[in-house]
Amino acid sequence: MELLYGPIRDYAWGSRSAIAQLQGRPVPSDGPEAELWLGAHPGAPATVDRDGVRVSLIDLLVAEPGHWLGEDVIDRFGPRLPFLMKVLAADAPLSLQAHPDAEQARAGYAVDATRTDGHRNYVDPYHKPELLVAVSPMEALCGFRDPVESAQVLAGFGVPALEPVVAALRAGPVGLRDAVRQLLTWPAAERAGLVRAVVTADVTSPDAELARALAARYPGDPGVLVALLLHHVKLAPGEAIWMPAGNLHAYLRGTGVEVMAASDNVLRGGLTPKHVDVDELLRVLRFEVLTDPVVRARAVAPGVVCWPVPVDDFALHRVTVDEGTPQVRLPLPGPRVVLCRAGKLAVDDGAGVVTLEPGQAAVGTAAAEPLVFTGEGEAFVATCGAF
């Protein structure tokens, strides 16, 4: 293993404490720190040390793809690291968003290469399913709930202008597309008044509270109302959210460890000042009820849990080393990225040992040696999924 140094993205919704505390730096940080990226995505690649010089992990993969990735990974994904691990720390809601499947990403990327309006939806030709594990209490909006339930919620605000949307939702899942389209294409001159009518209605409920909180940050944004069509999920530490392609979602607050296919393709659906391509979003969205977006941890060995997901781009495990389990041996295929979240751990992949403290990370090659953890603490391990 080698130490891996990840860049921090300073998006406006980021926390000024969570990542700094994790890494043992002064709090508050100088600015918002939203995401710590641990991978080889071109947008913000992590680096390793080479004789005192930080070298991009991308450059190492290009120079020695077989050594770092292995033939199985190259055959399946090409000469690229197919996953990206992050620490996500939100103090404010992210935009409503969805991600394309693999076919949509390839087609959209090809089309966007010819666009001249400056609004590119696709920055790479890859899909972006993602899994986020809460490490603090966390709130999110995840996937469509029963539209009949959403119809009752919107009708309860008593806003006559919303009656066509309510009628579409009462038709069940077949009306979801029309309901979302109506809200996102609402005449710009009338949006602020519509949202104001909802958030000032004399209604007391979690949904009304959510709408008011979102409208306080995004007044007049129709995403405030689209948000009410989604599951409002509150995660305890250790619980996870699985977001496959086409599911509308937004993280509202809290800190989690996230692993995803290495892509940055985002179709926004509101709660943002950025461009919303309604037609493309409607093409990508899956208008079906997501029964339960929460994934519970599954024990796979003493001191080891995982959160199973149906993709082979990535897998995520959590390792806990303590008095009861003083050593953990984890036979996972390479390449591997390890993030220490608590304590102090030595990690040996057969090629080298690194000692990690909270907020530090390491990367290992495609060598088949099991990871061996000793010390006392907790770490997350990202790898490719099963082949």
Give catalytic residue positions: 268
SS (H, E, C) 319-358: EEECCCCCEEEECCCCCEEEEEEEEEEEEECCCCEEEECC
The residue length of the chain stands at 387
303, 72 contact by CB (below 8 A): no
318: tokens are 């959590």
Q: How far apart are CA 56 and CA 73, in angstroms?
A: 20
Q: How far apart are CA 37 and CA 43, in angstroms?
A: 9
282, 181 contact by CB (below 8 A): yes
Q: How far apart are CA 216 and CA 122, in angstroms?
A: 30
Chain-centroid distance, C-alpha 385: 17
Helix (H/G/I), strand (E/B), else coil: 253: strand
- Measuring CA to CA, which residue among 186, 190, 193, 195 is closest to residue 154? 195
Q: How far apart are CA 36 and CA 133, in angstroms?
A: 14
Helix (H/G/I), strand (E/B), else coil: 319: strand
The dihedral through the CA atoms of 248, 290, 182, 252 has a sign that is: negative
346, 375 contact by CB (below 8 A): yes
Q: How far apart are CA 86 and CA 94, in angstroms?
A: 15
Chain-centroid distance, C-alpha 88: 8
15, 27 contact by CB (below 8 A): no
143: enclosing H helix or E strand: strand 138-144
Residue ranges in 27-156 assigned as alpha helix (H)? 57-63, 65-69, 71-77, 102-112, 147-155
